[in-house]
Amino acid sequence: MLGMLASFDYHVLADVDAILNSIAAVLIVAGLIAIKKGNQQLHKVLMLSAFGVSAAFLVCYLIYHYNVGSVTYQGTGAIRVFYLCLLISHIVLAAVQVPLILMTLYFALRNKLDKHKKLARITAPIWLYVSVTGVIVYCMLWF
């Protein structure tokens, strides 16, 4: 078992993270559409799925960075400035989103729907932004 881990290419987890972020973004948008159409049950399934996918992302992300470290962006000039601005906003909002998602989920599962709805109006756009910008950062680093 340890031999397999020693030869594991942890760089593949960057690809997995981009895929998970993409899936989370699609699930979030679908969940928002479902609730706008009044389909609470579908909304619940989609948002819980987005939560699960985002949790899987976080596990992969932590394993990747523990084993690989950080990756330096190679672009220069204006595109580097754009990348750094995007990355900084992504990192800050990624840290903010975790407690927001957990609180929003808590209110939903406790059937405190007024509190859930109020907080979800803040949480959803941040969560979606972090998911989408995660994919953009990945693309900028690897393509």
Q: What share of the chain has pLDDT > 90, as a percent?
A: 95
Cα–Cα distances in angstroms (integers) from residue 108 to residues 32, 105, 111, 114, 130, in the given order: 14, 5, 5, 9, 21
Q: In the predicted model, what is the mean pLDDT of residues 27-53?
A: 98
What is this structure's pTM? 0.94
* More confident of the two residues 6 and 83: 83
Asked if 48 and 35 count as a contact pair (C-beta separation under 8 A), the reply is no
Looking at residue 5, what is its pLDDT?
67
Q: In the predicted model, what is the mean pLDDT of residues 62-91?
A: 97
Looking at residue 6, what is its pLDDT?
73
In the predicted structure, residue 44 carries a pLDDT above the cut 90: yes
Cα distance between residue 142 and residue 121, in whole Å: 33
Q: What share of the chain has pLDDT > 70, as a percent?
A: 97
**Average model confidence (pLDDT) across the chain:** 96
Nearest residue to 50 (alpha-carbon basis) of 127, 120, 106, 103? 127
